[in-house]
Amino acid sequence: MALTSARLLTRTVHEKWICAHSLTLRPLVCINKAAFYGEYRRPGQAQDRTPPWKKIRFSFAKGVQGIRKHFGLLKDEAMERWVGPQGRPLIEHMLEQTRVQWEFRGPESLEQWLVSTDREIGGRSEAYLKLGRNDSACMLYGTLCSTPPRDGETCYSGYCTLRSRQLLSSFDRKKNIDWSSFNTLYIRLRGDGRPWMINIAAETYFSHQKDDLYNYFLYTRGGPYWQDVKIPFSKFFLSSRGRIQDNQHPLWLDKVSTIGFTLGDKADGPFQLEIDFIAVCNDRAHTEEFAYEMYKRNPEV
Amino acid sequence: MNSTRRCFVRFMMSTKALVPGASWPCSNLGPAAQILRTFRVSGTVAKKKSRPVRTGYDEKPERERSLVADDDDDDDPFERAAREAGTKAAFDGLLDVFVRRDVRRRGHVEFIYAALRKMPDFGVEHDIAVYNKLLDVFPKEVFVPRNFIQRMFNHYPRQQECAIQVLEQMENYGLMPNVETKVLLVQIFGEKSHPMRKYQRMMYWFPKFKHANPYPVPLQLPRDPVDLARFSLNRIAHDLDARVAVYQFPSTEVSETGEKVSRPHVVGIQSPEQRRLLAEHNPSRPVFVEGPFPLWLRKTCVHYYVLRADPLPPEEKVEESIDPERSFFYPLELDLDLDRDFGDLDSFDVDEVEEGPVFAMCMAGQADQATLAKWISGLQETNPILGRTPILFRLESGPRELQQATESEPEPSAEEEPLHSQGMKQ
């Protein structure tokens, strides 16, 4: 059961990544992000043979808007150095034991999240994200349907995913989150008894690692009460394209890019998950560095 | 030419001598037969078609003899047997028929793919013995690589992929392979083949996560709805002091007019803390019966109802101070003036979600107001305040009884929920 949910089809989610390396041209010229990595092409779908220069959409108004936004961000970045590292006072940077990374208060907090389902690969699941009453605690709801698309190649289907957007600093550079002073993930949520999976994507160096995810399971209890979940980062195991890897490695917390929640337990029907906040904390009682063997391949072959 | 062949024969013989535990299945045929066997491709049909499962399109004479056929073929033995008797015995019988039909097991890859697809129809997809029997269809020791070149390349790739598919289906149904699987895989593909690797991976990772769930659900849920309700309510109550009360057992009786009246079960749970909260509730404010809310136990969905109130407005909130004489043994509240700095702060900087208190939960066999009123009247015996409190029923459209729920639409409450939000937000 556990491995089953580990093999989630997270590929399409990855392709939503915003990747931007062209520093100067970015604000003025809008290049389709899919031009870099290519979107998921369903079996039977014709290949997009448009030359890349035809995808450039030149817009002067958008360029001015972009320059304004990015130089504003650049100014903020320059100014926050005077406050302290990462824009926070030094005492806070050194001594903080808990940090609330994402909280759902107000409609603008939903804009940091992406919802995707297997509809992208031709499935029939639905998922929606909305804010709870009193503008607190987001609610992810929908229907799961694990009927695979009838395209002759896809064998498995049925997932719904909530994924945080990649944070971007000025000129659309990736901004990663530094969690290296914490060792535990802390989530306050309320589910309906279904098992979910937490996916943490960290910044990688080589492009063949772009599908690497660190996963662990998130079991919900169900019922009307909130549930506090603490998961040490040492428990997260490495997977790539939904397959557990033989060579495991602990998650490097200094460059975390996104976090995601995936449902794929093959139980067709409605689901719901309410998340109050997602935080990290430093559990001083937890000393484990990595929960899986590293002195040999898993399994040894 | 002749010398090379003799050389090859000698090499084959020496390999056989080197492998101590190797027992050849048809050793009475002599070494010449073995050489023939090394060149034989077991899935002859598979070589011609790219799709392994589909076979017998363009080979008419082959089709009558083939055990495996297309989806839409009525002569598929699996479909026929599933229609007649979809049991484990029928499935085993089919495997036996195929194994006995041909010593060479011609077309076994297609047969195994077809069998894998039809396993849910026979209800054997959770049976490890059936998977082992399915792996047993592979001919033994034919696909074991015998020299380093074979070992280096993907030896009999289609057969290995097929065995991996068998293991993957086991994995998808949460089945852990056993020693018999391992022995079979070693016999069929050898020690370091791809299916063997897959087996090793499963045996490494499955036990790691076997007990990862802190809220375990048994594989076989209780059949009795009252027992199921008891289990689910204990799970969602998350309080060891909570007591389950059965307000009505399910029963069917014939009334005087001759109609059959079936009484649904009504099972509720309440903890002492919830009882205290209800006793402190202001009777002028209404309490709500809300539901049904879903709860998933593996693949089954049950629904429960909640008795709750709206959150208190800020002007009615009373700061409660703990009586210092409540416990003589240890202080319940400590206000020491310690020098604690930022590094000792372990709480999270978020606003609490404002929610009304939950007073009780219940599960019922029917989602109508009359059934839930039995629950409320049963609750009144232990919570007399419910007799003085207005109770509103906010029953949203249930999963099945859409019509009934609209009839029992309650009085318009202050805030109407949109249709999608049948969640348990306050």
Residues B160 and B194: beta-carbon distance below 8 Å: yes
Cα distance from A204 to chain B (closest Cα, Å)?
A: 25
Do both A23 and A136 map to the same domain? no
Q: Do A3 and B212 touch (CB under 8 A)?
A: no
pLDDT the model gives residue A23: 42
User: Is A271 inside a domain boundary?
Assistant: yes
Do both A233 and A135 map to the same domain? yes
pLDDT the model gives residue B248: 87
Residues A6 and A197: beta-carbon distance below 8 Å: yes
Asked if residue B66 has pLDDT above 80, the reply is no
User: Is A90 inside a domain boundary?
Assistant: no
pLDDT the model gives residue A38: 62
User: Is A83 inside a domain boundary?
Assistant: no
In chain B, what residues touch A95 (CB-CB under 8 Å)?
A: 341-343
Among candidate residues A284, A56, A30, the one with its CA nearest the CA of residue A172: A30
A299: preceding bond cis by omega (within 30 degrees): yes
Nearest to A141 among B209, B217, B423 (CB): B423
Q: Do A133 and B415 touch (CB under 8 A)?
A: yes
pLDDT the model gives residue A86: 84
Chain A residue with Cα closest to B53:
A152
Domain extent at residue A18: 2-40
Check CB contact of B308 with chain A, cutoff 8 Å: yes
Do both A151 and A272 map to the same domain? yes
pLDDT the model gives residue B42: 43
Percent of chain A as helix, strand, coil, to the nearest 5: 25, 30, 45
- Chosen for mutation from A7, A133, A245 (greatest number of chain B CBs closer than 10 Å) is A133
Asked if residue B17 has pLDDT above 70, the reply is no
Per-residue pLDDT reduced to its tens digit, B87-136: 888 899 999 999 999 888 899 999 999 999 999 989 898 999 999 999 99
Higher pLDDT, B48 or A132: A132
Split at pLDDT 50, 70, 90, the class of B397 is: low
Q: Do A223 and B197 touch (CB under 8 A)?
A: no
Whole-angstrom distance, CA of residue A125 vs CA of residue B207 = 31
Check CB contact of B426 with chain A, cutoff 8 Å: yes
DSSP-assigned letter for residue B366: S
Do both A18 and A144 map to the same domain? no
Over residues B178-206, the mean pLDDT reads 93
In chain B, what residues touch A193 (CB-CB under 8 Å)?
A: 215, 217, 235, 294-297
pLDDT the model gives residue B311: 86
User: Is A88 inside a domain boundary?
Assistant: no
Cα distance from A102 to chain B (closest Cα, Å)?
A: 10
Whole-angstrom distance, CA of residue A142 vs CA of residue A161 = 11
Non-local CB neighbours of B167 within 8 Å, separated by 6+ positions: B177, B181, B195, B198, B199, B202
In chain A, what residues touch B346 (CB-CB under 8 Å)?
A: 97-98, 281
- DSSP states of A137-202 as a string? SEEEEEEE--PPPSSSS------EEEEEPPPB-GGG-B--B--TT--EEEEEEE--S-EEEEEEEE
User: Is A231 inside a domain boundary?
Assistant: yes
The B residues from 342 to 381 touching A (CB cutoff 8 Å) are 342-351, 353-354, 358, 361
Split at pLDDT 50, 70, 90, the class of B15 is: very low
Q: Which of B85-89, B186-190, B298-302 has the lowest mean pLDDT?
A: B85-89
In chain B, what residues touch A186 (CB-CB under 8 Å)?
A: 348
**What is the dihedral angle through the alpha carbons of A36, A39, A42, A47, rounded to the nearest 10 degrees?**
-40
Give the number of domains in chain A.
Answer: 2
CATH of the domain at A211: 2.60.120.430
pLDDT the model gives residue B33: 40
In chain A, what residues touch B269 (CB-CB under 8 Å)?
A: none
Per-residue pLDDT reduced to its tens digit, B343-359: 888 888 888 888 889 99
Do both A253 and A157 map to the same domain? yes
Non-local CB neighbours of A253 within 8 Å, separated by 6+ positions: A178, A179, A180, A182, A202, A233
pLDDT the model gives residue B137: 93
Q: Do A224 and B361 touch (CB under 8 A)?
A: yes
Do both A262 and A151 map to the same domain? yes
In DSSP terms, A259 is beta-bridged to A200
Chain B residue with Cα closest to A269:
B301
Q: What is the β-pairing status of strands B260-263 and B266-270? A: unpaired
Share of chain B above pLDDT 90, in %: 40
Whole-angstrom distance, CA of residue B262 vs CA of residue B265 = 10
User: Is A133 inside a domain boundary?
Assistant: yes
Do both A113 and A212 map to the same domain? yes
pLDDT the model gives residue B325: 79
User: Is A68 inside a domain boundary?
Assistant: no
Do both A265 and A192 map to the same domain? yes
Nearest to B295 among A134, A192, A246 (CB): A192
Mean pLDDT of chain B: 77
Annotate A27-64 with b (16+ C-beta within 10 A) or e (fewer). beebbeeeeeeeebeeeeeeeeeeeeeeeeeeeeeebe
Tens-binned pLDDT, residue by residue, of chain A (301 aa): 344 344 443 333 333 333 333 344 454 444 445 545 567 788 888 888 888 888 888 899 999 999 999 999 999 999 999 998 888 899 888 899 999 999 998 889 999 999 999 988 889 999 999 998 778 889 999 999 999 998 888 889 999 999 999 999 999 899 999 999 999 999 999 999 999 999 999 998 898 898 999 999 999 999 899 999 999 999 999 999 889 998 899 999 999 999 999 999 999 999 999 999 999 999 999 999 999 988 877 777 6
Over residues B323-328, the mean pLDDT reads 79
User: Is A50 inside a domain boundary?
Assistant: no
Q: Can you give the pTM of this predicted structure? A: 0.77
Per-residue pLDDT reduced to its tens digit, B69-79: 444 445 677 77
Asked if residue B321 has pLDDT above 60, the reply is yes
Over residues B294-315, the mean pLDDT reads 89
